[in-house]
Each structure stands twice: as structure tokens, then as C-alpha cells.
Amino acid sequence: MPTKNRWESAWRCIHNLSRYTEERYEIILVDNASDFIPDYILKRDDLYFIRNGWDRGEVAAINQGMKKASGEYIVWLKQRAVPSHRWLTQMIRVLKETPAAGMVGPMTNRGLEEQRLPVPFQALSKIHRFSNQYNHSDPRHWKEVSRLQSFCCVLPRAVVEEVGELDEWFGMGSHEVDDYGVRLKQAGYRLVVAGDTYVHQFRDTEKNKGDLRERKKRESQNRRYFIHKWGSDVFEAADARK
């Protein structure tokens, strides 16, 4: 999990992860030079910390975390995510039972159409109540897709070792998972949505108009790099296939 400030959302994600994850797990927090780290984070004994002296970007932070990870499966998780009932168990089942599945993501409340389930709840109690009702494994709801959202992705370690790290030219993040998805498909793997699994995500709020402009600039730059790298705009190609 890459972090930089926004400790309230990081705490919420970590708390729910530890409460609702049935598998044995390790949480690797890679901090990109936060202004400070609260004691309630530092005192947790279930976190492995990597603290960067400067902001290396979300993509490099994820790569750092993967190098330290020791499990059979690797989860890329953003701090805006709200893990809930059976979230990881069900996505691992997708990877185990879907031929050539290389990466899986859940349904969520916003973002890409094929993962979007417009759940209006904002209160955690209602989110968890809905997730408990919704999250029941059913292979009929698994579907292959062209892209996956970056906020929550699960991959087998063996796939990461074969395909490699994320491309750090994507810097602070945006389109890095699209890029990785292309590489996975070139290696013969499939991207799958666990349509039976819901993981809520809260919206990242920009601090000011300058932050918003910077985010849009970064997204535009990364999109241009993605298109330059692969020679065509696969986003439009994916839309044409729907």
C-alpha cells in the first residue's frame, strides 16, 4: 500500500483489511515522505514499513512493496479502498479456478463500467452490511475484461515474477495498471472481474485547484506515454468491443 499523508483513509483501509481478511497476510506500507506519521500507525505491530526520504511516486512504491512481499498472492491496494467480508478469499478463488487468469479486481462503486456497481452508501456500517449480503462466491459472475481499475488488484506471485514490475515511468500513478494489463495479455494471461465481490472506494479529494490541475496534467502525460509505448489507444479499442 503506497501512502503519503491522508492517514485517516490509510487507517480506515488497514483497520478493515485486518478485520475482514481471513487468509494469513502481511501489510507492507510504503510511505513517500509524509509530513509526519501518526503514532497510532507506527505502533501497529502488523505493518512492515518502508519509509522513503523523498516522494518516489505510487508506482515505485508498489514495486518496493512487491520486492518485500513473501506471500503466494500479491495485492495492490490503495488507501481509499474499504476491504470487507470475504473480499480476498473470493478473488483468490477466481485466480485459482479461472484458466490463465493473471489479475483480478472487484466490483466497486465508481470507475470503469464493467466494474461499476453504483452503491450510494457512505457510512461504513452500511457498506459492510451491503458487502456481507453481496459477497458470495459465484463463478457465473466472473468475467474477462480489457482493463482493471488500479485501486485493488490481486495477482499470483508467479505471474508477477514472470511479467515483472510496474513501469516506473508512470511515476505518481495513472495508467500504470492499464500498461501492466497489456503486458499480462501479451504473456497469455487474462484480466478478470470478480463480479461476485464488492470493494467500496472513497473518493480522493484534491486539496486545492492546484492539486486538481496537477493530477489532470499527470493523467494526460501518462496517457500520452501509454499510447506512445503501445502504438495505439487501447481504451478506444476496448470501448468499440462493448
pLDDT at 242: 40
Residues 6+ apart with CB under 8 A from 95: 73, 101, 104, 154, 155, 156, 192
pTM of the predicted model over 0.75:
yes
Average pLDDT, the chain: 92
pLDDT at 211: 72
For residue 227, the Cα-to-chain-centroid distance in whole angstroms is 22
pLDDT tens-digit profile of 113-131? 999 999 998 899 999 999 9
CATH for the stretch 2-241: 3.90.550.10
Give 10-residue mean pLDDT values along the chain (242 residues). Answer: 93 96 96 94 91 94 96 96 98 97 98 94 95 98 96 97 96 91 97 98 69 84 91 59 41
pLDDT at 213: 83
pLDDT at 171: 87
What is the CB neighbour count within 10 angstroms for residue 182?
Answer: 17
